[in-house]
């Protein structure tokens, strides 16, 4: 079924690739993949863009599969902006065929991308504020190239946002400072917080790997339960776009070892909180981590 949908999408893109949905309001029609990118493009584009996100709040981008209706949306776009770094794994074949698309990955340097022990690349770049600043710069550049008339406005919005991101990093650093070094261990359902850990001196442990396509094995849960018990980790975390079942299984495994671990507040990993910005969502995550681990 997946191959059939991708085939239909590719055919539609080939047949109608030159069509555009001209906006009566004169704004650019931008299509993006994730909720994080929706917020980013709306922030930089301001009054000059209409933004359509393929994925809504709570949708897991690792598992999102292209629908036939997505072809119409993509074809109508003046510009398509996606994360890259293989985040939109099941959309890769479709996005690769688009001439009117840019990725946030294209605004990063090769050394920016983290990898796991098996060489798998980590797509969760939004958990590094410095990398999100680079993503913002890439979006501003892409919009300015497409719409040079309004380039000054895109740059002004960018400069304002870069200051806000610097303020966010200060907030993160100050809030996390109350967590002692040996308590800076973040245990989650899947491996989404490596960039956060890299930027903020944390250790991360997870049940699933970088992608939620990976399976949660009983051996991994057992090993992680041993680690939590040995190091007396106070809390573990569920994620908004993933079922809490694996974390609940981990909690039970820890309790069977004679140690009690709590499940902290839900973290937002692959999707923003409903009706909240990137900055607001990041702060909610940080506040939740502090309440659970400090």
Asked if pLDDT for residue 63 goes beyond 90, the answer is: no
Report domain extents, the chain.
Answer: 2-172, 179-293
Asked if pLDDT for residue 13 goes beyond 60, the answer is: no
Q: CATH 3.40.50.1980: does it fit domain 179-293?
A: yes
- Residue 62: both structure tokens together: 């690792």
Q: Where are the alpha helices (DSSP H) in 32-150?
A: 35-45, 68-76, 92-95, 129-146
pLDDT in tens, 65-89: 888 888 889 989 999 999 999 999 8
Q: What angle do CA 269, 248, 221 make, to 5 degrees?
A: 85
High-pLDDT (> 70) share of the chain, % = 89
Cα–Cα dist 143/154, whole Å: 7
Asked if pLDDT for residue 55 goes beyond 60, the answer is: yes
Q: How confident is the model at residue 92 (pLDDT cuts 50, 70, 90)?
A: confident
Asked if pLDDT for residue 11 goes beyond 50, the answer is: no
Cα–Cα dist 245/100, whole Å: 40
- Residue 79: both structure tokens together: 């510009």
Burial group, residue 225, by CB count within 10 angstroms (0-12, 13-18, 19+)? buried
Higher-pLDDT residue of 5, 60: 60
Strand partners, 165: none
The stretch 116-133 carries a mean pLDDT of 90
* pLDDT at site 277: 98
Task: Please indicate whether the domains covering 2-172 and 179-293 agree at the CATH topology level.
Answer: yes
pLDDT in tens, 211-255: 655 566 788 899 999 999 999 999 999 998 788 899 999 999 999
Q: What is the largest CA-CA distance in the chain?
A: 65
Asked if pLDDT for residue 37 goes beyond 70, the answer is: yes
* pLDDT at site 16: 43
Distance, CA of 114 to chain centre: 14
Q: How confident is the model at residue 136 (pLDDT cuts 50, 70, 90)?
A: very high
* pLDDT at site 4: 42
Of 17-26, 79-88, 99-108, 154-163, which gets the smallest average pLDDT? Answer: 17-26
- On average, the pLDDT of the chain sits at 90
Q: Are 249 and 266 in contact (CB under 8 A)?
A: no
* pLDDT at site 241: 79
Q: What is the CATH number of domain 2-172?
A: 3.40.50.1980
Q: Are 241 and 274 in contact (CB under 8 A)?
A: no
């Amino acid at each position: 079924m997946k191959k059939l949908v991708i085939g239909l999408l590719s055919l539609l893109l080939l047949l109608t690739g030159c069509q555009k949905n001209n906006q009566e309001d004169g704004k650019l029609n931008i299509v993006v993949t994730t909720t994080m990118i929706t917020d980013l493009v709306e922030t930089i584009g301001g009054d000059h863009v209409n933004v359509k996100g393929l994925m809504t709040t709570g949708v897991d981008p690792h598992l999102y599969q292209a629908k036939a209706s997505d072809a119409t949306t993509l074809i109508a776009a003046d510009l398509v902006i996606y994360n890259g770094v293989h985040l939109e794994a099941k959309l890769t074949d479709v996005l690769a065929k688009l001439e009117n698309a840019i990725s946030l990955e294209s605004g990063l340097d090769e050394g920016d991308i983290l990898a796991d022990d098996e060489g798998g690349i980590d797509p969760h770049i939004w958990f590094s504020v410095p990398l999100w600043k680079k993503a913002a710069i890439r979006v501003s550049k892409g919009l300015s190239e497409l719409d040079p008339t309004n380039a000054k406005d895109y740059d002004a919005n960018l400069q304002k946002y870069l200051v806000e991101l610097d303020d966010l990093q200060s907030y993160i650093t100050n809030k996390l400072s109350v967590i002692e070094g040996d308590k800076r261990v973040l245990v989650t359902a899947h491996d989404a917080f490596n960039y956060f850990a890299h930027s903020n001196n944390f250790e991360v442990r997870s049940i699933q790997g970088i992608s939620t396509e990976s399976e949660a094995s009983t051996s991994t849960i057992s090993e992680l339960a041993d680690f939590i018990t040995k190091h007396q980790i106070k809390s573990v975390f569920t994620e908004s776009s993933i079922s809490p079942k694996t974390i609940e299984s981990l909690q039970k495994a820890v309790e069977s070892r004679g140690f009690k671990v709590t499940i902290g507040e839900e973290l937002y990993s692959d999707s923003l909180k409903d009706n909240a910005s990137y900055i607001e969502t990041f702060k909610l995550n940080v506040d939740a981590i502090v309440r659970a681990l400090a």
